[in-house]
């Protein structure tokens, strides 16, 4: 088989097939094939590290393995000057591995979008909750967080047996909870929720950029960039600005 054909075989192989191909061509002495095998080895070793990292991120899922439904919860949008806080509640199947899950802030937009699609396809249940700028201004950002989280939980099609939360204990919830500091880097369920919440909110802010042009919502997602603050000072706030957050600029 020619080197180009071999290269295409390696490029099209999944990780299990890759291991078999590495073994099959390990003794091929052609320089081009040696290079292909070396590159494949690096790729396979990197994936094995990800498998190990994902296993470590299931520590809390293993802790509650007797529970039928383990739900991760996280939110995004506490810091922006505009737009809602968004929470997500995600229940993943116990027998499914989704690799490269992590705190959504540690992932590129492209990777978040790809993982969002995989999570939505494979999850047992997903609930999403919004608390908009009027709620935030009325009851403060922390309480608005809790509102969004309670809404997200209420939208699940099954009732969780345990909630794994990123750092907080949600008031007015009777389901058992475990708050985990930096949970989106320690639990696959919380990481999945972090990604769903982030992608959902970012998409919402892109739509808001069309409705309220001039503030750069598509790029800054409502956060206080220099250009965003300058736009507030020049044009004044729009409907989705949090009045309790922008007092220094108007």
**What per-residue confidence (pLDDT) applies to 249?**
82
Quickly count: other Cβ atoms within 10 Å of residue 134's Cβ: 14
Weakly modelled stretches of the chain, pLDDT under 50: none
What's residue 217's pLDDT?
98
* pLDDT confidence of residue 15: 84
pLDDT score for 1: 83
99 neighbors 203 (Cβ within 8 angstroms): no
Single pTM value for the model: 0.91
Quick one: tokens of 240? 């989705």
**Beta pairing class for 125-131 and 85-91:** antiparallel
Of 175, 197, 65, nearest to 119 (Cα)? 197
- Predicted confidence at residue 193, as pLDDT, reads 97
Domain boundary assignment for the chain: 3-56, 61-235
Beta strands in 119-167 (DSSP E): 125-131, 162-166
Burial class (CB in 10 A: 0-12, 13-18, 19+), 172: exposed
The pLDDT of residue 52:
95
Strands (E) located in the chain: 70-76, 85-91, 125-131, 162-166, 177-180
Give 67's contacts (C-beta < 8 A, 6+ positions apart).
Answer: 160, 161, 162
Structure-token match 């790029």, residue found = 219
Determine the topology of domain 61-235 in CATH.
Nucleotidyltransferase; domain 5 (3.30.420)
Find tokens 């249940």 and name the residue: 125
């Amino acid at each position: 088989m020619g080197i180009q054909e071999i290269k295409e075989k390696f490029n099209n192989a999944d990780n299990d097939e890759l291991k078999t191909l590495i073994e099959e061509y390990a003794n091929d002495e052609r320089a081009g094939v040696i290079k292909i095998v070396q590159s494949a080895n690096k790729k396979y070793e990197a994936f094995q590290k990800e498998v190990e990292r994902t296993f470590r991120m299931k520590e809390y899922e293993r802790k509650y393995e007797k529970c039928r439904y383990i739900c991760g919860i996280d939110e995004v949008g506490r810091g922006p000057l505009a737009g809602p806080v968004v929470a997500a509640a995600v229940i993943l199947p116990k027998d499914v591995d989704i690799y490269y899950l992590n705190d959504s802030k540690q992932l590129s937009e492209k990777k978040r979008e790809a993982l969002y699609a995989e999570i939505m396809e494979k999850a047992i249940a997903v609930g999403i909750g919004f608390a908009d700028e009027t709620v935030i201004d009325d009851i403060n950002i922390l309480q608005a967080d809790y509102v969004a989280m309670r809404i997200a939980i209420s939208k699940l099609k099954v009732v969780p047996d345990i909630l794994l939360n990123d750092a907080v204990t949600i008031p007015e919830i009777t389901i058992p909870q475990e708050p985990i500091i930096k949970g989106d880097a320690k639990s696959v369920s919380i990481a999945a929720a972090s990604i769903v919440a982030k992608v959902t909110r970012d998409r919402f802010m892109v739509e808001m950029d069309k409705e309220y042009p001039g503030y750069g919502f598509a790029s800054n997602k409502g956060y206080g960039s220099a250009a965003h603050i300058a736009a507030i000072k020049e044009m004044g706030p729009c409907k989705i600005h949090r009045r309790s957050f922008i007092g220094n600029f108007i």
